A and B are shown apart, each in its own frame.
Chain A
Amino acid sequence: MSALKVDLLIGNEAVATRNYTEVRDPGRFADVVGLVAEAAPEEVDQAVKAAHAAFPAWSATTLEQRSARLEKAAQLLESIADRVAAVVVGETGMLPSDIKAEIMGSAFAIRDNIEAAQEFLKPKQVEDEASWVSVEKVPIGVIAAFVPWNAPIVLMIRKLAPALVSGNTIVIKSPPQAPLGLGLLLNEVAALFPAGVINVVHGGNSVGQALAAHPLIGKISFTGGGKAATEIMKTAAIGIKGVQFELGGNDPAIVLDDADLDRLMPTLVAGAFHRSGQFCFAIKRIYVPEAMYDRFFERMGQELAKVRVGHQADARTTFGPVNNANQFAYVKALVERARASGCEVTEYGERVDPEHWDEGYYLRPALVRRPNAKSEIVTCEQFGPVVPILAYDTEDEVIAMANDTEYGLGSSIWTSNFERGVAVAREIESGMTFINRNAQSRLGRRHMPFGGVKQSGIGTENSELGMAEYVEYHAINYHK
């Protein structure tokens, strides 16, 4: 079988480069999933110039025209989901069912943006006897979009859809650990749009740096880690470029004493361990009432014991590897340090293929019993399958512990009482609080601004509020 090879995409042309990087399967290192082109700074420049050249015509199209093209893109995503998913599964280590759902969800994200744009982009006009005022929303220009590896398709679409529907053009930088499926998908999506509206560059830090620093970039939208975000913001400062950041979290789950554990435990486990814990709003720490602690711990252990850890494409597997060597080493070392500091760490689940265990970045899900509230495993963002469970006595105490962090992305409350859940939610310093399921409902995906407070981000994504990140205001004031 000839190796899959993904080029850059500039002005709707596949652009080959001097160097190609092998992308390997994190569940079976020996397997090369494909080759990805590595951009040089000149190619980043070409991509931005192509997007800039496409901007005048694209921004002059009607909302109706842009909406129609995006609807076609949504349909295309649905029709090629299986083909793209196979590649994304290979490069990310995520389960096929998750990736398929991600791509289908991405099609909905496109439609949600089309729907939101219809009212949002209308000008607001007011008039009195002295003057007429029209506040119009205009596109910014060329958007640089940085996409992470953990859910590359949906996190890319969350930028592409609002950017394009409001009349911007885009240059997307793929994640080096998962560029292939994204590249394949965008080759086909871009063909639905005029050349230069969608451009894709691949590569590492130097490519990101060249993109963020390019003078023709109007705004940077980045999903990823805080350290890279700081670097991007410093670079953006030179050109006074706006930034929208969706960064990490250390999301607390607060179990109230009236929570129905039998009903909630499967979804709570998913909220922490879905994608092997590798998603930004995964539950990163769990707080349980002292009186319920042992029962909770045991019940969660029982649920985790059902997990089968193995290669993501193996039909028997319910829990895939972590995505890359850095993350694997980080989580392993974190668990070792937790153990060394006296924490009791229990691993759960079954190895699907024990003899091939060392051929991938496999980790079994683990729980940490009663760590100190200030310990590293509680205060850091692990981004992997190990979760600390802490006990608390009073609501005030647990709220203080939940808020004792520089992060503030998501959070969750688990309770049988709606009013009580909402009241506790309002005390949590975070951008999002989920009650009784650590995920957005379908209604939530359409209407919730997705993002964090404190150092979990700047700005937001999704809904009309996220779309506001992709427009400038042009106010026209006519004096009578």
Chain B
Amino acid sequence: MKIDLLIDGRDVATDSYFEVRDPGRIGDVVGLLAEGTADHVDQAVEAAHRAFRFWKRTSAGERAALLMRAADLLVKEGDGVIELMARESGMLLPINKAEIAMAANVLRDNADLAPPFLAPQVFEDDQSWVGVEKVPVGVIACIIPWNAPVILTMRKLAPALACGNTIVLKPAPSGAMGLSILLKKMAALFPPGVINVLHGGPEVGRALSTHQKVRKVSFTGGGKVAREIMRNAAATIKGVQLELGGNDPAIVLEDADLKDAVPKIVGGVFRRSGQFCFAIKRLYVHEKVYDTFVDMMSAEVAKFKVGHPMDPGVTFGPMNNRAQFNFVSTLLERTRAAKADVIELGEKLAPERWDEGYYLRPALVRNAAVDLEVVQVEQFGPIIPVVRFGNETDVIRWANEGDLGLGSSVWSADFDRATALSRKLEAGMTFINNAGTSRLGQRNIPFGGVKQSGIGRESSEVGLAEYVDYHAINFHR
């Protein structure tokens, strides 16, 4: 398996290739990934820039129709890459399958929303006529993380293309192959140069975020890289849209239906082995139900079978990469060293091969103190602190501490109480009695965070607005 760059509708080979290794079996090379250079970035951006001149003139309806075809293509081709995705990223097959289905919905939602969104506003009186038109921005650079690469790509590609922009995408090396195969097929539906795909390290990212002809950078990933990107973008006054990490609190009130809530909370914490931006990163449970909750949650977590995503029966995969594995492993050690009550749960499916991958069992930190490191940081892995609280004032203060504000969740049987509490949380999103968006939410919620969890939003009309400039025309009579 060898993945090249995709520039102007053509495969472009490079001088060197990365080995992509299976994070669940580090000895296995999954495939080779082209390593682009700044020259390739220039070629890709120029191709996107040429394509922009005619792509922006297509009608919103034509573009929406192509996105609908792209959605069908994802559904049709998805099963062909879910194993490859599992082997390169460590994510489970059903998770990859569900991700691709959701990604197809993202394409469809944008195809539906864009044409009415793009209609101009017109105002008129006896002195003048005003048309407020929405025009594409130009070439968009999209920088994609490894943890859910297909859906996180479509959240950028779909609105960017629907609004008439062209794109240059750069996936993360540890989640690039399955995505690139899908993108190559999808790109063939569009004129050459509308979708371009680059691979490579920081040099490619830097060349992309500084290129004169890139007009906006959309990035999903970590805060450190985001700061670099924004600094790079500053020299040529590029807009940035940043969807960054979170330290999302889940607040379990004493009236929550624990039987319903616990399995959902466990999914919200440990899906993708905790490696998703709006995963629950800290749990605050009311003291009246704390012990019961911890017992129920432990029993649920104990059911996980940790192993290689291709092995039958596995329900919990490895960490995606060495850096993340090391970070979570040492965080776990420091948490233990701080005398916190850590329990690891779940079963090792193939204990004899445990050290061949970046495996970690899911862990709970019981009776976690509010100032414990694992409460304060974004762990992005399978260790979850469970903090006890006595009153809402305290828990709101604790939830709002820190510089991050992506998602959050509230668990309660009382709608009014839950929404009132939600409104006091400093977060871009609050989920009530679930750990993510409903289907209606996927279409209507501007996805993103406040404070240092990001700039701008994705999805919905608010997300589409990231991919247009306004052109106001004022005719004086």
Contact = CB atoms under 8 A, between A and B. Distances in A.
Interface residues on A, range: 35 or more
B230 A422 contact: no
Given A138-B450, A237-B230, A453-B137, 11 more contacts: A218-B451, A229-B234, A233-B237, A441-B128, A443-B123, A453-B469, A476-B419, A476-B422, A476-B430, A478-B433, A479-B434
Interface stretch (A106-114, A153-161, A431-439): A431-439
A190 interface: no
Interface string A447-476: 111110111111110010100100011111
Interface in A220-248: 226, 229-231, 233-234, 236-242, 245, 247
A236 B237 CA distance: 13
A477 B471 contact: no
Interface string B433-453: 110011111001111101111
A240 B226 contact: yes
A402 to B, nearest CB: 13
A447 B448 CA distance: 28
Given A475-B441, A478-B419, A236 B474 contact: no
A472 B428 contact: yes
Interface string B449-475: 011111111001010010001111111
Nearest to A237: B230
Interface in A349-406: 406
Interface of A: 124, 126-128, 130-131, 133-136, 138, 140, 218, 226, 229-231, 233-234, 236-242, 245, 247, 406, 418, 421-422, 425-426, 430-437, 440-444, 446-451, 453-460, 463, 465, 468, 472-479
A131 B441 contact: yes
B409 to A, nearest CB: 9
A206 B460 CA distance: 40
B128 A444 contact: yes
Contact of B237 (A226, A421, A436): A226
A342 B475 CA distance: 37
Given A240-B223, A478-B432, A431 B469 contact: yes
Interface of B: 121, 123-125, 127-133, 135, 137, 215, 223, 226-228, 230-231, 233-239, 242, 244, 415, 418-419, 422-423, 425, 427-434, 437-441, 444-448, 450-457, 460, 462, 465, 469-476
Contacts of B419: 134, 476, 478
Contacts of B470: 431, 449, 451, 460, 465
Contact of B471 (A233, A432, A479): A432
Given A238-B227, A422-B131, A437-B476, A472 B418 contact: no
Contacts of B447: 475
B237 A443 contact: no
Contact of B475 (A133, A421, A451, A453): A421
Given A447-B132, A474-B429, A476-B422, A131 B438 contact: yes
A449 B132 contact: yes
Contact of B130 (A230, A234, A447): A447
Nearest to B216: A458
A128 B429 CA distance: 19
Contact of B444 (A135, A231, A460, A465): A135
A283 to B, nearest CB: 14
A458 B216 CA distance: 10
Given A135-B445, A455-B236, A475-B430, A432 B244 contact: no
A406 B236 CA distance: 9
Contacts of B457: 473
Provide the main secondary structure of the chain B interface. Answer: mixed
B239 A458 contact: yes
A231 to B, nearest CB: 8
A425 B135 CA distance: 12
Contacts of B433: 478-479
22 contacts: A124-B444, A128-B438, A234-B230, A240-B223, A240-B242, A240-B455, A418-B129, A426-B133, A431-B472, A433-B473, A435-B474, A442-B128, A443-B124, A444-B130, A448-B472, A455-B237, A458-B238, A474-B450, A475-B441, A476-B432, A479-B433, A479-B434
A240 B476 contact: no
Contacts of A456: 237
A240 B244 contact: yes
A442 B373 CA distance: 56
A353 to B, nearest CB: 35
B423 A136 contact: yes
B426 to A, nearest CB: 9
A114 to B, nearest CB: 18
Contacts of A418: 129, 475
Contact of A135 (B438, B446, B456, B472): B446
B33 to A, nearest CB: 29
A441 B130 contact: yes
A133 B428 contact: no
B452 A240 contact: yes
Nearest to B244: A240
B471 A475 contact: no
Given A133-B445, A455-B236, A432 B474 contact: yes
A448 B133 CA distance: 10
A435 B418 CA distance: 52
B476 A441 contact: yes
Nearest to B477: A436
B452 A468 contact: no
Contact of A435 (B454, B469, B471, B473): B473
A386 to B, nearest CB: 25
Nearest to A446: B123
Given A457-B237, A477-B445, A126 B440 contact: yes
Contacts of A441: 125, 127-128, 130, 474, 476
A441 B231 CA distance: 37
Tell me which of A127, A447, A477 has the highest count of chain B C-beta atoms within 10 A of its own C-beta: A477
A463 B121 CA distance: 12
Nearest to A440: B474
Given A247-B237, A433-B473, A435-B476, A130 B438 contact: yes
Given A237-B234, A476-B423, A422 B445 contact: no
Contacts of A406: 236
A430 B471 contact: yes
A126 B132 CA distance: 27
